Amino acid sequence: MPVRTADAALAGVRRGVGAERLTGRTALVTGSSRGMGRAAAIRLAQEGALVAVHYNRDEAAAREVVTSVEKDGGRAFAVRGELGVDGDVDGLFAVLEEDLRERTGSTDLHILVNNAGVMGGVGADEVTPEQFDRIFAVNAKAPFFLIQRALRNMPDGGRIINISSGLTRFANPDEIAYAMSKGALEQLALHFAKALGPRRITINSVAPGITRNGNPVFDIPEVVEQMAGLSAFGRVGEPEDVADVVAFLATDEARWITGSFVDATGGTLLG
């Protein structure tokens, strides 16, 4: 059976356009200049949100996302900020608030998507303390303090979505530190959900599986076929597969879902 890169239903279809379930709301998607973050930013904009496209180094890629959103009639702007370093969150929000005020007359932030992350790709016996600290600084510490800071801007009924990983449920010895950091990230949803319930702010974890992310490995047909075989659907994930889940959790339809772990791995390693 040939391996498909996406379901036929996904091909050439702009989903969500016209629905505009997020009109009047603002969103910050970290690490959204490429991959799943890019797809999430575009998808939220299709739903009517004004989206802050966060990036660290690749300004051109972030500007391209903004252009793509605007071409489709949406609204977005780029905002730079390095995560995992001293002063990262305060510096990012100083710029974000200025941009939001200029565009909306307010600094309200309705949706936060913690997508930015770094992987290790190093065996457990080779991970250095510096690498370990960097992974946790970006993947776990930064999201914690982004949430803490965002809550000052987030009205009641807001949405927080953390992008975790299927590696918290199945093993890859070369990504132990990464999986540990994503496990810590998932705890934010569980415990913040309890604290934020009285404000009707939901917080959930979304765990992608093998998803196209620009890595050259996805250009090797035999490797893609092997990876596709791990999914119940016989294909690798597309960024839009995850973006659709993020968009749903950001809407009012997901108001009764909080503190949850959403498996978005395409049924990877079900047996």
Model pLDDT for residues 232-249, shown as the tens digit of each residue: 999 999 999 999 999 999
Position 23 scores a pLDDT of: 98
Position 19 scores a pLDDT of: 63
Position 269 scores a pLDDT of: 83
Q: Is the pLDDT of residue 4 over 50?
A: no
Structural domains in the chain, CATH included, are 20-264 (3.40.50.720)
Position 246 scores a pLDDT of: 98
By C-alpha distance, which of 103, 93, 106, 107 is closest to 147?
Answer: 93
Q: Could you list the active site residues?
A: 164-165, 178, 182
Share of the chain above pLDDT 90, in %: 86
Q: Is the pLDDT of residue 6 over 80?
A: no
pLDDT digits (tens, 9 = 90+) for 193-223: 999 999 999 999 999 999 998 888 999 999 9
Distance CA 184, CA 136 (A): 9
Q: Is the pLDDT of residue 261 over 60?
A: yes
pLDDT digits (tens, 9 = 90+) for 9-61: 343 334 444 468 999 999 999 999 999 999 999 999 999 999 999 999 999 99
Q: Provide the pLDDT confidence category of residue 271 given band limits of 50, 70 and 90.
A: low
Distance CA 140, CA 123 (A): 20
Position 123 scores a pLDDT of: 86
Position 224 scores a pLDDT of: 95
By C-alpha distance, which of 67, 52, 142 is closest to 98?
Answer: 52
Token pair in block for residue 202: 């939901």
pLDDT digits (tens, 9 = 90+) for 150-205: 999 999 999 999 999 999 999 989 899 999 999 999 999 999 999 999 999 999 99
Mean pLDDT across the chain: 93
What does each C-alpha distance from 107 to 51, 101, 175, 252 come to in angstroms? Answer: 13, 5, 38, 21
